[in-house]
Amino acid sequence: MFTKFFKKNQDNSDIFKKLIHRLSGMPVQDLEKIDRLLDIIFTPEQLKTESIYREETLDDTLKEAKNQLHKEQLEKNLERFRKNNK
């Protein structure tokens, strides 16, 4: 019983080699399932979507800048309206 507790741990490189060997023999469909499971296990708080991973394009940057400009203009107009009504 005590021999199991005090047994020297296996080298991690051996475990990694066994894992690689086992994964290399699996079909692609099973590997995709494993990949999805790992995503669920290691990132439960995030919903994986393409929008999270896609890079921001120039169009997105322009839209964001225009939206910010419109927002600032609306805020200025609202402030002007409030001053005129007082």
For residues 52 and 64, the model is more confident at: 64
User: Which residue type occupies 22?
Assistant: R
70: domain range?
56-86
Rg (CA), the chain: 28
- What is the model's pLDDT at position 1? 46
Which is more confident, 2 or 74?
74
Q: What is the mean pLDDT of the chain?
A: 76
The pTM score is: 0.36
**Cβ atoms within 10 Å of 58's Cβ, excluding its own:** 7
Residues in the chain: 86
Region 38-43: mean pLDDT is 75
For residue 70 the two structure tokens come to 């419109």
pLDDT value at 36 more than 80:
yes
Residue 31 lies in a domain: yes
**pLDDT, mean of residues 46-63:** 65
Residue 2 inside a domain? The answer is: no
Between 56 and 57, the higher pLDDT residue:
57
- Which pLDDT belongs to residue 54? 58
Decide if 11 contacts 19 (C-beta within 8 A): no
Query: Are 35 and 72 in a shared domain?
Result: no
63 within domain boundaries: yes
